[in-house]
């Protein structure tokens, strides 16, 4: 860069949020390309949250309405369900739809079904974002902070990016821990 030329203009907020999302997603793809079906239900500790088969064959996540103390260690299966839940609700809000109830977000199962589900949620999310205008980004958002008008749709998108980044790091760490564990601990 020439010292006499002006610095590049900052990206528009939507462009910056999209860049951050794409960066985080690329890190997630690294793990999704390497994740094994058995990684999803591996329990890294005695006190953990996972997803369990119900009598009807669907997967049900462990859940408590108030956070337990100590907080259970989640499995990759639980984390991927959790991502599907908050992402579905965020997409509903971005599209102006009534948000789904937690119980209506069904985890599809370990391995390829979960990976494809998450990739599909990414596509839905990006389609919703592509339809937002600058006015939309500045409008109040009801998610994730209920009834707080100071938070905008841009804040919601930044929250999704942060939540995705956190969950991607957790999934990556669990995948690496399981791979490094002695065979008897897997």
SS3 74: strand
What's the full length of the chain, in residues? Answer: 186
The whole-chain average pLDDT of the chain stands at 91
Structure tokens at 62: 């462990």
Helices 76-94, 112-130: inter-axial angle, 10-degree rounding: 20
The sign of the dihedral angle between the CA atoms of 97, 28, 79, 160 is negative
| 152: DSSP letter | B
Confidence band (pLDDT; 50, 70, 90) for 4? low
| 65: DSSP letter | S
Considering the entire predicted model, what is its pTM? 0.90
Summarize pLDDT for 141-177 with one digit per residue, the tens: 888 877 677 899 999 999 999 999 999 999 999 999 9
pLDDT higher than threshold 70 for residue 102? yes
Confidence band (pLDDT; 50, 70, 90) for 10? low
Tell me the β-bridge partners of 152: 140
Question: Could you tell me what percent of the chain has a pLDDT over 70?
Answer: 94
pLDDT higher than threshold 70 for residue 2? no
Confidence band (pLDDT; 50, 70, 90) for 1? very low
């Amino acid at each position: 860069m020439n010292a006499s030329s002006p610095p590049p203009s900052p990206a528009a907020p939507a462009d910056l949020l999209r860049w951050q999302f794409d960066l985080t997603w690329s890190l997630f793809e690294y793990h999704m390309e390497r994740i094994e079906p058995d990684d999803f239900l591996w329990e890294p500790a005695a006190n953990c949250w996972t997803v369990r088969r119900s009598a009807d064959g669907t997967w049900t996540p462990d859940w408590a309405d108030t956070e337990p103390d100590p907080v259970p260690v989640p499995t990759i299966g639980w984390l991927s369900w959790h991502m599907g839940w908050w992402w579905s609700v965020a997409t509903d809000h971005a599209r102006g739809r009534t948000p789904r109830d937690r119980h209506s977000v069904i985890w599809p199962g370990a391995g390829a079904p979960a990976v494809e589900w998450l990739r599909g949620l990414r596509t839905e999310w990006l389609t919703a974002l592509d339809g937002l205008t600058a006015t939309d980004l500045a409008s109040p958002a009801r998610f994730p902070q209920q009834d707080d008008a100071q938070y905008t749709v841009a804040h919601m998108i930044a929250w999704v990016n942060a939540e995705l980044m956190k969950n991607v790091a957790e999934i990556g760490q669990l995948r690496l821990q399981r791979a490094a564990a002695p065979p008897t601990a897997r």
